[in-house]
Amino acid sequence: AQTVTQSQPEMSVQEAETVTLSCTYDTSESDYYLFWYKQPPSRQMILVIRQEAYKQQNATENRFSVNFQKAAKSFSLKISDSQLGDAAMYFCAYRRAGTASKLTFGTGTRLQVTL
């Protein structure tokens, strides 16, 4: 079974600084997808960024980028120029390729953004 591990329950970053959230996963599959979801206090789950395992290039979305290390099964999220609105729970998720594929989530990292 696939597992996703987020070893940082809480992180803190100053506004305008950069922070990296860690995620590791365990799978025997070679074709899969990885996601970072943001959950603000409103509880809404918002997709931040996705990465296809077959792509070597790291995904980027504006201030958000990932460091995908397939051999190490590591998928970290870097937030640059942090803003107060980035404060939220961040979940790493895994989904194998194919039909009936399901998202497996990590336990989350709570990010605080300070002035």
Q: Which residues bind other proteins (CB under 8 A)?
A: 4, 6, 9, 32-33, 35, 42-45, 47, 50, 52, 91, 95-108
Q: Are 13 and 109 in contact (CB under 8 A)?
A: no
Torsion from C-alpha of 32, 38, 42, 44, nearest 10 degrees = -20
- Residue closer to other proteins by CB (options 33, 64) is 33
Of 43, 57, 22, the C-alpha closest to 88 is 43
Nearer to other proteins, 28 or 102 (CB): 102
Q: Are strands 19-21 and 104-105 parallel, antiparallel or unpaired?
A: unpaired
CB of 17 to other proteins, least distance (A): 26
Task: Pick the closer one to other proteins by CB: 44 or 60.
Answer: 44
User: Could you tell me the smallest distance in angstroms from the CB atom of residue 30 to other proteins?
Assistant: 13
Dist. CA 37–CA 35, nearest whole Å:
6
CB of 52 to other proteins, least distance (A): 6
